[in-house]
A and B are shown apart, each in its own frame.
Chain A
Amino acid sequence: MKRLSSSTRAFLLAAALMVAIGWLEGARPGGLSLPRLTAGLVTLDLLIRAGVFTIILVGLNLLMGYAGQVSLGQAAFYGMGAFFSAILTVKTRNVGIPPALAGAWWWPWLVMGLGAVMVGGLAYLIGWVILRLRGHYLAMATLGLGIAVFIVLRENLGLPRLDLTGGFDGVVGIPRLRVGAYPLWPVHRYFLLVWAVALATVALGLNIVDSRLGRALRAIHHSQLAAETLGVDAPRYKAQIFATSAALASLAGSLYAHFQAAVVPATFGFVPSLELVLMSAVGGMASIWGAPLGALAVLLLEELLRTRLRLILPGTGGELEAVAFGLLLILVLLFWPRGLAGRVSGPLRRPTPARGAG
């Protein structure tokens, strides 16, 4: 505990970097800005989305990379959080919340917390049932869950008269967050909030990995049988980590809703769920640092292809972007099976006997 571990150093570095970026964008000294420094590639918008995904991915990596339970429906919990916040801060009259309450600065924060707790609780119950399934069956069940939640959101929760989710069009006019009278806006303030939460989540994840619970999860991953014969209550821990990952996704959803000020169901469908798995794989599933790395790498790659591919190959449309994106991802997963985090941390570790992970 005395010396700073490499993880602590990485953590402080990341925090310092984010504060520096926040300051740069807030002050814009001498006309300098993030987009100007990066030739328009990196914007606060991109970094905020990366921060939001980081929060989800920490949970997803704990679930998939450490506990070994696949979820192809994580965007469902993300969507639940986003719509929970949207409905309870915008459609207050439809659900009978008094204006005095809905107008208080702390109301959105309370909703955000309540949403995470409720979504986590719901996931715990769902987890008890579906985490008994293994491998492909679990993947299918979570896939079904994701699609079901998407449809429920799109179909106004089956209560068209109340019009809570707004159907296809979603909910607009979600308020910005405030602390007392201090608004967390313009965007660089919100950026700092999102990354403060994201890095706190990373810290939480790192703590969990290196604990009794974290070891139990990894043990379940590699041999549930052996883990159980050592007293590890596998079903309970799996449900717990499923609930934790869902609560984090819900929190990320709330932060996203207050950032975009509008949410539509399509953001939380099947494709976004797959995108999350992809980010997790690219960053390195069995790594907490893989979460920010994966989110940043995939978003940057998308941005790069979207803005630059046309310069190299003129006259190409969106199809080629998708193809190039897919190809690059296949290459990453082929050559770096442990993801970016595996690439980064590998050479930093002290040498171990010749045998690698293959």
Chain B
Amino acid sequence: MPSAAGTQAMSAPLLEVRQVTKAFGGLVALQDVSLAVWPGQIKGLIGPNGAGKTTLFNLITGILPPLRGDILFRGGSIVGLPPYRIADLGIARTFQNVQLFAGMTVLENVLVGFHRHMQGGLLDAAFRSPRMRREEREVRERALGLLEEFDLLRWAHEPVESLPFGRQRVVEVARAVAAAPILVLLDEPGAGLSGAEKVRLTQVIRKLCQDGVTVFLVEHDMELMMGLADEVAVLDHTVLIAEGPPAVIQSHPAVIAAYLGEAEPTHAP
């Protein structure tokens, strides 16, 4: 079913992480990590807690600067750019601990996702210029369409914090999609979801991929990950220990030792 892996030799990587190191004070979070995400693929990133997965996402989105190394998006370095500039290049993300805008409705949250595709500034807003009204109308329509696609329409005008947790995660994905990204980083989108919600999430991610969005995904649920990803990278204790198709990763000895094998008796104290 996933076939993007076969085409990657011909194209350049969409995102390239080159020997990136990050430390918080004396605590090393990532060491010399290099990996690539190819256009059109669903790339997975797994690893035990504290392996540095979220840190890597924070480096890519410009929230934190790397200590050493470089990060390239479509061939250009994005290190040192502020987060909003990186977002403008076409990288959107969700957060492990859902970061929705409380006090705003579901629709308004998604409308913020459209921010970078809108023009209206302070004066347009204050005086309701015709240009701004038109833009507002168009974007609202598109946002409602998006909510329908994500099966969120009936909550459109509810305060976002009143939604069940699983739906809040979906809103966050919808908000990221509203930004029309080229690459979307999903940080544990399945955490805290029920079985049915996870099935829906899988469909949503597949649909994204079909629409031409490249997906980079951190996920703890191995089943979900193995069913979705074209390729998986494994972080363990700040170091990249393996990278490859899910089937290969599942049987990779280092991965079994570090991650999948956690529960095996050999690791018991």
Contacts and interface: CB of A to CB of B under 8 A. Distances in A.
Binding partners A and B? yes
Most buried by B among A207, A214, A229: A229
Contact of B84 (A211, A228, A352, A353): A228
What are the nearest 3 A-B pairs in CB distance? A231-B116, A211-B125, A226-B99
Interface residues of B, number: 41
B259 interface: no
B87 A212 contact: no
Contacts of A352: 158-159, 162
Given A219-B101, A353-B162, A208 B92 contact: no
Interface residues of A, number: 30
Contacts of B132: 211-212
A286 interface: yes
Given A211-B132, A231-B179, A222 B125 contact: no
A230 B125 contact: no
A214 B125 contact: yes
A228 B83 contact: yes
Contacts of A74: none
A240 B122 contact: yes
Contact of A226 (B82, B101, B127): B101
A227 B112 contact: yes
Interface of B: 61, 63, 82-84, 86-88, 92-93, 95, 99-104, 108, 111-113, 115-116, 118, 120-122, 124-128, 132, 135-136, 158-159, 162, 175-176, 179
A225 B116 contact: no
9 contacts: A207-B128, A211-B132, A213-B125, A215-B111, A226-B95, A226-B101, A229-B86, A229-B92, A229-B93
B179 A355 contact: no
Contacts of A212: 111, 115, 118, 120, 125, 132, 135-136
Contacts of A234: 84
A353 B160 CA distance: 12
Contact of A225 (B63, B103, B113, B176): B63
Contacts of A207: 125-128
A353 B155 CA distance: 11
A232 B126 contact: no
B137 to A, nearest CB: 9
A215 B101 CA distance: 10
Contacts of A233: 82, 84
A128 to B, nearest CB: 14
Contact of A213 (B83, B86, B122, B127): B122
Given A212-B118, A213-B122, A216-B112, A229 B104 contact: no
Give the one of A211, A215, A231 with max B CB within 10 A: A231
A227 B92 CA distance: 11
Contact of B61 (A213, A221, A229, A240): A229
